[in-house]
Amino acid sequence: MIIEEGFTMKILIAPDSYKECLSAMRVAECMADGLQTSIPGVEVMLRPMADGGEGTVDALIYGLNGKKEEIHTVDMYRRPLTTYYGKLNDTTAVIEVANIIGMEVTRARNPYLASSFGVGDVIRQLIERGYKKVFVGLGGSLTNDGGAGLLEAFGLQFLDEKSEKLVINGGNLSEIRAIKGQLIPALKAIELHLICDVTNPLTGEHGATYTYGKQKGIEEEEMKAFDDSIASFAVKLEQHLNVQCHHIEGAGAAGGIGYGLLCAGAVMHSGAEYIADIVLKDLDLKTFDYIFTGEGKSDFQTQYGKLPVCVANRGNEAGVRTILVSGGLGTNYETLYDNFLSIHSITDGPMSLDDAIDNAERLIRNACRNIGRLLK
């Protein structure tokens, strides 16, 4: 496309975050900086995206003109924590697991002591504040307690063999001998919508522990014990609540937090698609000349429901070409050419992962500046 006099190029910038590096908003801002450097008068619109993990609150706040609100709770080790949620309107809020019990809070990993209690506590407080609909981004948890901790915050009591109350964490699920109490009645008066980018069941070979346990600090030889403990807990819980949720796709998300919330009446949604429906809803994509998206690393797995392909598919349906700019490119990334006009890594020479992370903002700007020169 050659820019003619009087023509203004219009670009939508809708990336995911670069995990453990930059937020989706910061990635979008750096992309915009690079494009504006090389394309005179370019009109950019930023729509930072998410798939249910880190950045979910920011994406929905930005896309729906919401605002951040402070809230006090506890982290995965039940230490006092001040965090935030998104107020989208007077009756709708969004939270993400990552900034309550995830890597946004600490990098310390102890799956035996980590609990999802804080997530349940935040939801309970939101109910008390009058919210009627709560979106929950499930990615980024450092817990593996099957959601038992959040159910404790919702009113259930877990008893050991001496009928004494357990303070639940990932390491003592096997000690549960009985469950007492009921979920707080206020849960029936709200809508809980789970935003999730995985389809794993609660237990088994493809469940929470075996799939994601390693990144939460569970050693290979400990996997079976953790998985068995969650399975045993689930049997008791489903008998107590008279539900059947362990088999539902996404129940294994966030160390089983998906399961706990499903048992409390929540509805599961596909992360990238659901957020795209919300954040891009008001845009006429046909009015854009190009769409830019990206993620921390793109490879053949990106085509299986990951956010960049979700964005590209919507662009293709509208006849708008999408350009992928990611932190790195991995195995068989070439399979993505059916979705994208072009595919780019931000690295501009041999470098370590640490160097790429440290220089990510500059590298994104430079990559988009160079792409912009080609588009111009």
pLDDT at 77: 97
Size (the chain), residues: 376
Beta-bridge partner residues of 18: 22
172 DSSP assignment: S
CA distance 310 to 278: 13
Q: pLDDT class for 248, splitting at 50, 70, 90?
A: very high
What is the pairing mode between strands 178-180 and 157-159?
antiparallel
43 DSSP assignment: E
Paired tokens of 222: 């400990």
Judged against a pLDDT cut of 70, whether residue 371 lies above it is answered with: yes
Contacts of 336 (CB under 8 A, 6+ apart): 298, 300, 302, 303, 309, 324, 343
Write the pLDDT tens digit of every residue in 211-222. 999 999 999 999
**Which 3-state string (H, E, C) describes 139-164?**
CCECCCCCCHHHHHHCCCEEECCCCC
Q: pLDDT class for 1, splitting at 50, 70, 90?
A: very low
All domains of the chain in start order, with CATH: 10-43+288-375 (3.40.50.10350), 56-271 (3.90.1510.10)
- Taking residue 354's Cβ as centre, other Cβ atoms within 10 Å add up to 8
Three-state SS at 276:
helix
**Among positive and negative, which fits the CA dihedral 277, 283, 286, 289?**
negative
Write the pLDDT tens digit of every residue in 29-87. 999 999 999 999 999 999 999 998 888 999 999 889 999 999 999 999 999 999 999 99
Secondary structure element (H or E) that encloses residue 181, with its range: none
Contact 316, 285 (CB under 8 A): no
What is the mean predicted confidence (pLDDT) over 154-163?
97
Contacts of 105 (CB under 8 A, 6+ apart): 75, 76, 81, 83, 99, 142
Q: What is the pTM of this model?
A: 0.88
Residue 334 has φ and ψ, to the nearest 5°, of: -60, -20
Judged against a pLDDT cut of 90, whether residue 268 lies above it is answered with: yes
Q: From residue 105, give the alpha-carbon distance in Å to each of 59, 114, 209.
A: 19, 12, 21
pLDDT at 198: 86
Paired tokens of 376: 């111009």
Write the pLDDT tens digit of every residue in 320-366. 999 999 999 999 999 999 999 999 999 988 888 898 899 999 999 99
**Burial of residue 196, with CB atoms counted within 10 A of its CB: 0-12 exposed, 13-18 middle, 19 or more buried:** buried
pLDDT at 4: 54
Contacts of 8 (CB under 8 A, 6+ apart): 41, 42, 43
CA distance 297 to 267: 29
Beta-bridge partner residues of 10: 43
